[in-house]
């Protein structure tokens, strides 16, 4: 069944973007509702896997934008607040290095954050990422390269 197969990977993909467990849970619910509603319109020419990830990515980004608008702050400011809250999050047990890495990722532009997470943390293929994000493989490689250099520089500076 679709839910059994994709529940966990989609959850962790969403969690990597929104960071907070409760938020990730909300977004996951919405994703499966959308999947249920849109499964009839799913085109067989694209992979089910990339279609699901595209929905999950869009829902996560929409969630963050809506949250930022609700708090009347910029997306960058929201990212900073989210990683600051990680230190007191009961569902985060990372060490100092992992926390520093999350803070460094949060300073990247939105697209580079996505690319870094999907490549570094999920080791996704560039071809799949290209389908999910609607960006060429070359641009994704370049973006990942730049993101890696930035994260390294931020960590070294700290």
Partner 1 sequence: MKTTNNIPSKRGFKVPQDYFDTSREVILDNITLEASLSSSSNERYDIPDGYFDNSKNEMLATLSRKLEEESTPAQKTATKVISLKSYYYSIAGVAAALLLLASIVWSQLDTTAGIESIAIAEYLDGEAGDLEQIEFADWLSDDDIDALHNDIALDESVIIDYLDDRTDSYHFYLD
Q: Which of 65, 66, 69, 121 binds partner 1 (CB under 8 A)?
A: 121
How many chain residues bind partner 1 (CB under 8 A)?
Answer: 34
Closer of 13 and 61 to partner 1 (Cβ): 13
Q: Does 158 bind partner 1 (CB under 8 A)?
A: no
What part of residues 57-86 is at the interface with partner 1 (CB under 8 A)?
A: 86
Chain Cα centroid distance, residue 115? 8
- Which x/- pattern, by CB under 8 A, does the window 17-56 give for partner 1? --x-x---x--xx--xx--xx-------------------
Measure the CA–CA gap between 59 and 56, rounded to whole angstroms. 5
Q: Is the dihedral of CA 149, 119, 24, 35 positive or negative?
A: positive
R_g over Cα of the chain: 16
Q: Which tokens hold the place of 40?
A: 């009839």
Contacts (Cβ under 8 Å, ≥6 apart) of 60: 13, 14, 17, 18, 27
Work out which of 3, 71, 153, 155 binds partner 1, going by CB under 8 A: 3
Measuring CA to CA, which residue among 143, 149, 76, 151 is closest to residue 112? 143
Give the contact letters, 87-116, x = binds to partner 1 (CB under 8 A), - = no. Answer: ----xxxxx--xx-xx--------------
**Which spans of this chain sit near partner 1 (rule: CB under 8 A)?**
3-4, 7-9, 11-12, 15-16, 19, 21, 25, 28-29, 32-33, 36-37, 86, 91-95, 98-99, 101-102, 121-125, 128
């Amino acid at each position: 069944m679709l839910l059994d197969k994709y529940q966990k990977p989609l959850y962790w993909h969403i969690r990597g973007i929104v960071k907070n467990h409760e938020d990730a849970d909300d977004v996951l619910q919405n994703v499966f509702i959308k999947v249920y509603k849109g499964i009839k319109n799913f085109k067989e020419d694209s992979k089910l896997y990339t279609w699901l990830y595209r929905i999950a990515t869009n829902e996560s980004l929409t969630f963050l934008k809506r949250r930022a608008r609700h708090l009347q702050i910029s997306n960058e400011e929201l990212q900073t607040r989210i990683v600051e809250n990680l230190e007191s999050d009961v569902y985060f047990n990372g060490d100092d290095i992992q926390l520093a890495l999350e803070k460094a990722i949060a300073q990247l532009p939105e697209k580079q954050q996505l690319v870094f997470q999907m490549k570094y943390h999920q080791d996704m293929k560039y071809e799949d990422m290209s389908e999910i994000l609607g960006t060429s493989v070359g641009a994704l490689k370049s973006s990942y390269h730049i993101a890696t250099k930035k994260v390294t520089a931020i960590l070294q500076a700290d």
